[in-house]
Amino acid sequence: MSGSDLTGRKAVITGAASGIGLAIARRFAGSGAVVHLVDLDDLKIRQAAEAISSSGAQVVGHTCDVSDEASVAGTFSRIGAARILVNSAGVAHIGNLGSTTAADMDRLYAVNVRGTYLCMKAAIHDMAAAKAGVILNLASIAATRGISDRFAYSMTKGAVLSMTLSVAKDYIDQGIRCNCISPARVHTPFVDNFLARNYPGQESEKIKELAATQPLGRMGTPEEVAGLAHFLCSDEASFITGADIPLDGGFFNLR
């Protein structure tokens, strides 16, 4: 068994019905993990679980609102003790301070911050009892770089980074590692849907504009995030905790 093998390890992945979360679920299932997919969209999460399990992987889908404490508690109770937790569920918002409403702030906080907190809290007791566990949070370059019109989103991802560091520090003696990935632009269905709604007929042009903002000249892919997530949640990364790792096509240092 190699250090990257996840055979038999119970992994919970939130936001797993599409995009980055789905790519991570596929990657973990392919490495032998027992994967529990968590998402608010009941139909999509069932379809995702069926599609991944068709290859023989052990996959279970769960409908859950990560912003709701009772929903999270019930879901994690059904799942049982997990060895790996990946918090990928998240929502976005475009706007600066002046255009961002209190309702916008509350909506993003509920999913991106409260949701991450609730899922970590639901998983941490069993991990601590077993003296083993890995938590991986999806932050963003927006947590540490000023990005135009991302006021509320940047706030939430800064909080995700701070929570990651706190958990890594507080639970290091209990065998738990906690890290986060900070992607720059990743080409997900969210990007395509946003462009279709706001720039109908101009999608190809806008994709090129978004790609050009990355020094490497393209957006990342969900599969590239999944590859890094796999490494960080495997034994190959056993000496890594409290880290915020950019996956950004050079955006952080070269732009």
* pLDDT tens-digit readout, 212-222: 988 999 999 99
Question: What integer best gives the mean pLDDT of the chain?
Answer: 96
Domain boundaries, the chain: 10-184+223-244, 187-219
Q: What is the mean pLDDT of residues 13-42?
A: 97
Checking if the pLDDT of 48 tops 90, the result is: yes
Sheet with 84-87, side-by-side order of all strands: 59-63, 34-39, 10-14, 84-87, 133-138, 176-183, 244-247
Overall fold of domain 10-184+223-244: Rossmann fold (3.40.50)
Would you call 153 a catalytic residue per the annotation?
yes
Tell me which of 109, 153, 171, 199 is the catalytic residue.
153
**Three-state secondary-structure class, residue 224:** helix
Q: What is the mean pLDDT of residues 19-38?
A: 98
pTM of the model: 0.95
- Rounded to 5 degrees, φ, ψ at 36 are -110, 115
